[in-house]
């Protein structure tokens, strides 16, 4: 499913104008592409606990959590947001994939007493410096009491919504999940626009500079099913003490032991970069190769890049060999010039967040 990646034309400021709206005012982003997969039934907790790496039995109702799903070899299937409505109802707010097919396939063999379906719910993100004020205007004081990753049932313009204190921007914000969205999407959208006028609300895309510098990964772009959690900084989401079994556990524990012994099961790992050169104003049309020096053979590649106005430099996410994945290491990015050639641009490896 397509999603909007920007609204402001370059001649009117482009990404920089949208970035300023996020960091100084408030933004609205249509993320209906983040489809909602509901798991509901008597054994919903047992099923969800089996397919994700973290212990969801410890997750309270009306809370959200970032989760990782792996296959039996420990490779990632998806890294969605999990919404726990109750012990018998969970929503996977998915990154770009057909996760419902995976979940249904798993249950063919396991036979948990659950129903798995994509539901008519579409989210939008309200993010930025004035997000709290706008949300209070929209749903009342319930917004004031919401902690990070909290959930709340509410209404906007009389329409039932679920609200989470989450986002993809690196700034404070909320996600609003509209129920029966095929019927009511325009009505809710217009209500948010009206309420946002006094805050200078801007409709934007995903704000690449902020999410890249914050180290927020995009599924299918920065991370995919060929990767394992340990190589993208997600070791903290692979608990050692989870009481129950889950898909991929044996493979992941073997990897953890190998890593501790210095025998990494992968060649490349995810890093941040500060890049020199002209400001990058659009999405990459392809992965850019990375080499240890201008005349050396490429050994890695950039997956996302953008100009970060706050840092006054280009920032990027890249996959590099472990030997180069040390903050402060200088590398060189092969930036295409548009005529089948490229130029070498210096970059420095950075930890997250990129500062």
Annotated binding site for substrate: 175
Tokens in use for 221?
Answer: 């772009």
Which of the 8 DSSP states describes residue 231? G
Question: CA 313, CA 214: separation in Å to the nearest integer?
Answer: 14
Question: CA 201, CA 127: separation in Å to the nearest integer?
Answer: 10
Which of the 8 DSSP states describes residue 150? B
Cα dihedral 321, 336, 225, 259 in deg (nearest 10): 10
Q: Choose among 64, 68, 271, 260: nearest CA to 163.
A: 64
The number of residues making up the chain comes to 355
Spatial neighbors of 197 by CB under 8 A, at least 6 apart, are none
Alpha helices in 227-317 (DSSP H): 249-260
Q: Choose among 193, 84, 148: nearest CA to 92.
A: 84
**74 near 152, Cβ under 8 Å?**
no
H or E element: which one contains 295? none
Q: Encode 188-221 in three state secondary structure.
A: HHHHHHHHHHHHCCEECCCCHHHHHHCCCCCECC
Residue 240's CB is within 10 A of a number of other CB atoms, namely: 6
Q: Which residues are annotated as a binding site?
A: 175
């Amino acid at each position: 499913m397509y999603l909007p990646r920007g609204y402001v034309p370059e001649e009117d400021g482009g990404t920089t104008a949208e970035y300023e709206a996020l960091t100084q005012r408030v933004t609205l982003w249509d993320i209906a592409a983040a489809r909602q997969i509901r798991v509901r039934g008597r054994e919903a907790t047992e099923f969800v606990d089996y397919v994700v790496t973290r212990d969801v039995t410890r997750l309270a109702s009306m809370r959200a959590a970032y989760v990782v799903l792996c296959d039996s070899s420990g490779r990632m299937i998806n890294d969605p947001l999990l919404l726990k409505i109750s012990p018998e109802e969970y929503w996977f707010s998915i990154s770009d994939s057909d996760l419902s097919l995976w979940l249904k396939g798993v249950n063919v063999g396991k036979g948990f007493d659950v129903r798995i379906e994509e539901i008519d719910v579409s989210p939008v993100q309200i993010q930025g410096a004035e997000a709290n004020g706008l949300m209070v205007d929209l749903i009342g004081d319930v917004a004031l009491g919401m902690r990070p990753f909290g959930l709340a049932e509410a209404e906007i313009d009389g329409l039932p919504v679920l609200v989470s204190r989450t986002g993809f921007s690196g700034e404070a914000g909320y996600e609003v999940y509209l129920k029966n969205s095929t019927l009511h999407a325009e009505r809710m959208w217009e209500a948010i626009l009206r309420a946002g006028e006094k805050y200078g609300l801007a409709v934007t895309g995903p704000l690449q500079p902020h999410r890249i510098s914050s180290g927020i990964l995009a599924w299918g772009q920065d991370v995919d099913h060929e990767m394992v959690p340990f190589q993208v900084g997600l070791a903290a989401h692979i608990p050692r003490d989870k009481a129950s079994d889950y898909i991929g556990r044996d493979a992941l524990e073997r990897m953890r032991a190998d890593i501790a012994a210095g025998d990494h099961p992968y060649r490349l790992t995810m890093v941040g970069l500060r890049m020199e050169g002209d400001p990058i104003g659009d999405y990459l049309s392809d992965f850019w190769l990375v080499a240890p020096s201008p005349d050396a053979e490429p050994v890695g590649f950039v997956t996302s890049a953008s100009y970060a106005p706050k840092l006054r430099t280009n920032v990027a996410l890249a996959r590099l060999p472990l030997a180069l994945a040390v903050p402060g290491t200088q590398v060189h990015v092969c930036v295409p010039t548009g005529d089948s050639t490229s130029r070498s641009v210096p970059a420095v490896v950075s930890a997250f967040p990129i500062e």
